[in-house]
């Protein structure tokens, strides 16, 4: 029996307002909640029991999977108070069914990767490791855990989110997927907040445990920021990243109930949700359009997410924008890039412009 723990208790603050009502792993990516892509991948790798380590909006996970008819057992380890990543792993470990030497997969709940799970499990067993960490390389490692390794793959140190230039000793980072020997996982304190990155991994390395790196160079993305989130979704649609739940690669994934005007362009791996309406001349590029959203004629959206039941007025321009649910952006707005618009916000027509001339004053003086 292969078991896995998925850490899904974080608040997803960098993805607000999308995460105000929905935990990050339940947000829609390429037409399905992200966690379902992860679950499908785990099942393909032979996992038969998954424990969700939940905290923030915990009940929504049970709601999502209440009718899950697949051959996978799902357990829920709910933290009343978040226990940190290490505390969460230990707490979820109470619900595992295997023995002390069994290999347990542990996954961060926001990583899209091409990692071959059977390969990391095989290497962990073959090399009789205490913990095996999936490692990858990124151009800018500052937002991650730095993990230098020796020639033989042994982890030399673990430094979470380096603060100074001197601390950046490698571009090899913790990719957020681990295999633990169960006894090692059971030894993490479970009664208080523990960071697996700041406390457990450095501690295991310092005490001479067999902590190994499984280094890959394939597709990898943490979906925790708005831009990474839309790009990850688009990569699944275009086939740059794969999931058992996404069909043949294409330019866009359009729900059968969405209505796209023949004069609109939906491209770059965009996803259009149920009941959405895209008007003539509109451009939706590498973006996620939620259920019931209306995009007016001539509006242009690039690298943006629009949550359900919002309206984007005609000829408005959005770049790298996150729009909460039930928002109304009037016509002829040109929004500065990287805005996050709260749920329910209303921006009148011609309310915001960052280039060219503002429209003539319509007020009587």
Binding site for ligand GDD (CB under 6 A): 7-10, 53-55, 79, 82-85, 88, 108-111, 144-145, 160, 173-174, 176, 197, 222, 224
Asked if 320 and 335 touch (Cβ cutoff 8 Å), the reply is: no
> Minimal CB distance to ligand GDD: which residue?
9
- Which residues are marked as active site? 161
The residue among 107 and 306 lying less far from ligand GDD, judged by its C-beta, is 107
In whole angstroms, what is the distance from residue 359 CA to residue 365 CA?
16
In whole angstroms, what is the distance from residue 27 CA to residue 220 CA?
18
Q: Which does 160 bind (CB under 5 to 8 A by kind): ligand GDD, Mg ion, none?
A: ligand GDD
The residue among 136 and 350 lying less far from ligand GDD, judged by its C-beta, is 136
In whole angstroms, what is the distance from residue 151 CA to residue 195 CA?
27
Q: Which does 65 bind (CB under 5 to 8 A by kind): Mg ion, ligand GDD, none?
A: none
Q: Give the nearest distance from C-beta 260 to ligand GDD in angstroms.
A: 34
Q: Give the nearest distance from C-beta 246 to Mg ion in angstroms.
A: 21
Binding characters for Mg ion, 213-252, by CB under 5 A (x = yes): ---------x-x----------------------------
> Minimal CB distance to Mg ion: which residue?
224
Q: Give the nearest distance from C-beta 124 to ligand GDD in angstroms.
A: 18
110 is a contact residue toward Mg ion (CB under 5 A): yes
The residue among 71 and 164 lying less far from ligand GDD, judged by its C-beta, is 164
| Sign of CA pseudo-dihedral 16, 17, 20, 23 | negative
Q: Give the nearest distance from C-beta 137 to ligand GDD in angstroms.
A: 12
199 is a contact residue toward Mg ion (CB under 5 A): no
By rule CB under 5 A, what count of residues binds Mg ion? 3
The residue among 53 and 301 lying less far from ligand GDD, judged by its C-beta, is 53
Q: Give the nearest distance from C-beta 91 to ligand GDD in angstroms.
A: 8
- Greatest Cα pair distance, the chain, in angstroms, is 80
Q: Give the nearest distance from C-beta 297 to ligand GDD in angstroms.
A: 38
Binding characters for Mg ion, 59-98, by CB under 5 A (x = yes): ----------------------------------------
In the complex, the residues that contact Mg ion under the rule CB under 5 A are 110, 222, 224
């Amino acid at each position: 029996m292969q078991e896995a723990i998925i850490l899904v208790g974080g608040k997803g603050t960098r993805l607000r307002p999308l995460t105000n009502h929905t935990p990050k792993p339940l947000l829609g990516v390429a037409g399905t909640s992200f966690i379902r892509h992860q679950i499908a991948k785990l099942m393909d790798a032979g996992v038969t029991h998954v424990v969700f380590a939940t905290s923030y909006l915990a009940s929504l996970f049970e709601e999502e999977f209440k009718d899950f008819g697949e051959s996978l057992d799902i357990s829920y380890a709910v933290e009343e108070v978040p226990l940190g990543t290490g505390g969460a792993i230990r707490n979820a470990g109470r619900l595992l069914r295997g023995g002390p030497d069994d290999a347990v997969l542990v996954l961060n709940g926001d990583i899209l990767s091409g990692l071959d799970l059977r390969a990391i499990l095989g290497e962990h067993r073959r090399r009789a490791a205490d913990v095996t960490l999936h490692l990858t390389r990124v151009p800018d490692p500052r937002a991650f855990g730095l993990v230098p390794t020796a020639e033989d793959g042994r982890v030399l140190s673990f430094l979470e989110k380096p603060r100074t230039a001197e601390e950046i000793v490698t571009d090899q980072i913790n990719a957020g997927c681990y295999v633990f020997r169960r006894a090692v996982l059971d030894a993490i304190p479970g009664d208080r907040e523990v960071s697996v990155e700041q406390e457990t991994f450095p501690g295991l390395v310092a005490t001479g445990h067999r902590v190994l790196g499984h280094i890959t160079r394939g597709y990898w993305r943490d979906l925790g920021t708005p831009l990474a989130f839309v790009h990850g979704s688009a990569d699944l649609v275009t086939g740059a990243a794969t999931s058992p739940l996404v069909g043949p690669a294409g330019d866009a994934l359009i729900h059968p109930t969405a209505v796209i005007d023949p004069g609109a362009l939906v491209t770059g791996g965009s996803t259009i949700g149920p009941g959405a309406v895209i008007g003539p001349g509109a451009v939706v590029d590498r973006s996620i359009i939620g259920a019931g959203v209306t995009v007016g004629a001539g509006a242009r959206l690039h690298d943006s997410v629009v949550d359900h039941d919002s309206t984007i007025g005609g000829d408005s321009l959005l770049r790298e924008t996150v729009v909460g649910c039930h928002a109304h952006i009037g016509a002829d707005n040109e929004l500065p890039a990287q805005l996050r618009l709260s749920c329910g916000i209303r921006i009148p027509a011609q309310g915001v412009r960052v280039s060219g001339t503002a429209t003539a004053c319509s007020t009587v003086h």
